[in-house]
Amino acid sequence: MKKCYKDIQEFIAALDAAGELTRHTEKVSPEIEISKITDEESKKPDGGKALLFENVWDGEKQSFPVATNLFGSSKRMAMALGLKSLDEAGAEIEELVNTTPPRSMHDFFELAKKALPLTRIMPKRAKGSAPCQEVVKQGKDIDLSEIPVLKCWPHDGGRFVTLPLVFTKSADGKKRNVGMYRLQIFDRSTTGMHWHVHKDGSHFFREYSDLKMRMPVAVAIGADPATVYAATAPMPRGIDEMILAGFFRKKGVPMAKCVTQDLEVPADAEFVLEGYVDYDERRLEGPFGDHTGYYSLADMYPVFHLTAITHKKKPVYCATLVGPPPMEDCYLAKATERIFLPLLKSVMPEIQDYFLPWEGVFHNIVIVSIEKEYPAHAQKLISGLWGQGQMSFCKCIVVVDRDISPSDLPRIWKLFVEQFDPAEDIFFSHGVLDVLDHSAPKAFMGSKIGIDLTRRVKGEGIRKAKAPQSLSLENVSRIEKFMHESFGDSFIGLNPENKFCAMLVRKDGKSGAEILKTLEESGLFDRSFRAVGIFDEGVDISNYSKVLWKIFNNVDPSRDIRKSPGGVCFIDACKKGILDGHHREWPDDLSFDK
């Protein structure tokens, strides 16, 4: 397996040789059309194929080729990092984490064999002219419309650069950050700079703002695949992402000095946008079809002013499409899950494994298996995880025993059905949430839920809730009759399978809390179900992946989950409004049909 790709075009050639690439030669437009083809491909089994659009026409002019879905499968993601599998990266990192201090000369030399290659993975200045600067445009020659930037979804606020590597440095010049922050094209020479408040780029921007200084920025598009991944990785603040890229490449990334800014970028990038952000300028950015499967709402963000565009003579524009899972970003997230497991275990050694279901869009749910040792160990672990880096954004944490695979969702559900006691196995908390979470009453923060599915140990007592009984057709008829009598035409239908009763309703002047209370007080669900959920009309409640996606994205746990004495969890997974105490704008689902 190749350990290092010179640039993204070499990676594309390798995908082609491996049968992992589809070349599109027919005429296509970067306005929606490429996105629709990419969305359809990414939904195929195992992520479909990478796509190279070779005949891109932007209006009346032919533009550069466009590549999408390059990282959209486990195989392609492993290839990008030069690995046989993503677990291989975790094992390599675990070996370094577990390295002990040398106790003898023999130990010292053995350690040196492992450590010396680290000196070769640091980024280095490229020799000679940089390929990313074969074409240089400045001043009036700058024109972002020459790049086939995609408009991804119908109601996007414009075209967005979706796979950018944004290079910044601290105000004192001592630290570098590389992050992936989308750029909305405003005009020929300006874009939005979508720095989330929790990200390192935003942290550096606050440093410049406090000093009332202009901030230099450089954006690389289409770097080598390991560097692209590194820009997405949740590295600790102050750690250079280019070192992680070098770790996977097994040698440092060649860097080139920018033409107009005091920054360095990957010398083999396809495009580079150079410029600055003023500390006191904001412009309305968005909406944008985001990885949550919803439009992130328009808001005020800093403005990126270009001072130069440089690129190869024959570049390929690289983009990603995000939206309802599964999509390409799911596989990038899976790589992070596997790669960072050893680092998480080094802080919390009781952790055996963890799994982030795609339906939770990376930050809304994690299932963790642990070596349980004492009472309330699961609760202790959950609280600890809520204090760990980007895990702090997680809205729901489920803990199981070490002999349970966190990715075995049917078995997890069986545990939930057979031995879960809502009265004792749930606890709520409150804390920071991802910027894109739309379910909480307030932005950036909301409630969280921890669920303990581990076996009881001495000192914890026994669970009192009983497992649901089998469901008869008579029970279903009784429930349907009750729903029609209570809600009339507002009740649309139900799916009562697998001890979970999913129901389609229209709220029609009622709050979710009122509806859940009515369902609980009926007593009709206690014997046959472990959970009951209400969903908006149009949701396919026969598709459990869609059902989970709605629950994890639309629920603020302390407001939208009701525990009954009978051992049933009632869940409002519908849209929220003023009657629900939700005064924020609720975003629309993403669809090419709307």
- Whether the pLDDT of residue 108 is over 90: the answer is no
The residues with which 158 forms a beta bridge, in sequence order, are: none
pLDDT, tens digit (0-9, with 9 covering 90-100), for 217-254? 999 999 999 999 999 988 877 788 898 898 889 889 99
List CB contacts of 211: < 8 A, sequence separation 6 or more.
Answer: 171, 279
Give the chain's end-to-end CA distance (angstroms, integer): 44
| Residue 290 among the catalytic residues | yes
Average pLDDT estimate for 325-335: 92
Confidence of residue 117 (pLDDT cuts 50, 70, 90): low
CATH number of this structure's domain 473-580: 3.40.1670.10
Torsional sign, CA 102, 105, 107, 111: positive
Confidence (pLDDT) at 1: 46
Tell me if the pTM is above 0.75: yes
Instruction: Give the pLDDT mean for 182-190.
Output: 97
Q: Is the pLDDT of residue 300 over 80?
A: yes
pLDDT tens column, 256-290: 999 999 999 999 999 999 999 999 999 999 999 99
Look at residue 467 and tell me whether its pLDDT is greater than 90.
no
Q: CATH second-level architecture of 348-452? A: 3-Layer(aba) Sandwich (3.40)
For the cut 70, the answer to whether the pLDDT of residue 95 exceeds it is no
Same fold? 348-452, 473-580: yes
Domain 8-318 fold: Pnp Oxidase; Chain A (2.30.110)
Question: Is the per-residue pLDDT at 102 higher than 60?
Answer: no
What pLDDT does residue 564 have?
A: 87
Pairing of β 50-53 and β 365-370: unpaired
Would you say residue 2 has pLDDT above 60?
no
Domain boundaries, the chain: 8-318, 348-452, 473-580
Residues 135-153: pLDDT tens digits? Answer: 999 999 999 999 999 999 9
Decide if pLDDT at 156 tops 80. yes
Q: What does each C-alpha distance from 138 to 67, 141, 308, 406, 539 come to in angstroms?
A: 26, 5, 5, 52, 50
pLDDT value for 453: 95
**Catalytic one of 58, 200, 268, 290:** 290
* H-helix segments, 386-436: 409-419, 422-425
